[in-house]
Amino acid sequence: MSITAWNPWRELETMRERIDRLFGELARWRGEEEIGIPIDLQETDDAIIVRASVPGVKPEDISVEIRQGVLTIRAESREEREETRGKWHVRERRVGSAYRAITLPVPVREDEAQAMYQHGVLEIRIPKAESAERRRIPVQVRS
């Protein structure tokens, strides 16, 4: 049996995710679409790697920020021209903005982050910060 430290922030993050999911379900129930950016977050020995799907968005219309351990991605897609003639039978492509913010699981070196965009996938690599060494503190007995 292993013992893990209780992290109240992790529980708050879980609660926030559940509330976000609830509001997303309510939006779909009301006929609205939830607009978000799907991501994959991977931790390696030396970095955090985030891959975000932003198809149809130009690189200059993507904003990536990291502040106090929170990664924020904003993307905006625009319709180049509006077709006024004819009758639409199906129109599923979305235009507008999408947003995603996620708390990173470990401390990172924010100023060394790099973002690359290729084929609709944004990849962000953020080097992990050096972890502070643990120092054992001797317990003394008062008499």
Dump pLDDT digits (tens) for 69-111.
899 999 988 766 566 677 777 766 667 788 889 999 999 999 9
39 and 2, same structural domain?
no
State whether the Cα torsion 55-60-61-67 is positive or negative: positive
100 lies in the same domain as 46: yes
Question: Is residue 118 located within the same domain as residue 53?
Answer: yes
Predicted model pTM: 0.63
5 in the same domain as 58: no
Identify whether residues 47 and 59 lie together within a single domain: yes
**Residue span of the structural domain in which 64 resides:** 35-80+94-130
User: Domain tally for the chain?
Assistant: 2
Mean pLDDT of the chain: 83
